[in-house]
Amino acid sequence: GHPWAVAKAWRGSAPVSPIVPSDMCGRGPWELLCEVNDSRRQFSSTDKMERSIEQLISYLSSVFTLRRGDCIFTGTPEGVGAVVAGDHVRASLSTLTALEVNIV
């Protein structure tokens, strides 16, 4: 909610690739992990969110047109920090490695 939803969410603002096989959707809760240089930076779970995924979809669909395949960005757990050139970042969603990049 709040003004950030409109300020950060415009067409083309956050390109992503598929990270969750469709047959796994709806099977939460999901554990979220982000490591930088093999050191845990962030860790949490979707069951610790202020609102359930169902509540988020219900509210957002009353404000925006949501279509199958749309992504809803909810923010990030505590532990946000800068990364620098040479850092290796790995993010995962439960048992799935969703993202692995080297910062240049």
The predicted-structure confidence for 7-40, as pLDDT tens digits, reads as follows 767 776 665 656 666 677 777 788 999 999 999 9
Residue 83: inside a domain, yes or no? yes
Residue 90: inside a domain, yes or no? yes
Residue 5: inside a domain, yes or no? no
Q: What total number of domains does the chain contain?
A: 1
**Tell me: the pLDDT tens digits for 39-67?**
999 999 989 999 988 899 899 999 999 99
DSSP 3-state of 35: strand
Residue 11: inside a domain, yes or no? no
Q: Going by C-beta distance under 8 Å and a sequence separation of 6 or more, which residues neighbour residue 94?
A: 30, 31
Residue 12: inside a domain, yes or no? no
CATH number at residue 61: 3.90.850.10
Is the model's pLDDT at 80 over the cut of 60? yes
Residue 7: inside a domain, yes or no? no
Q: What is the pTM of this model?
A: 0.71
Residue 43: inside a domain, yes or no? yes
Domain hosting 81: range is: 27-102
Residue 76: inside a domain, yes or no? yes
Q: Going by C-beta distance under 8 Å and a sequence separation of 6 or more, which residues neighbour residue 8?
A: 73
Determine contact, residues 73/6, Cβ cutoff 8 Å.
no
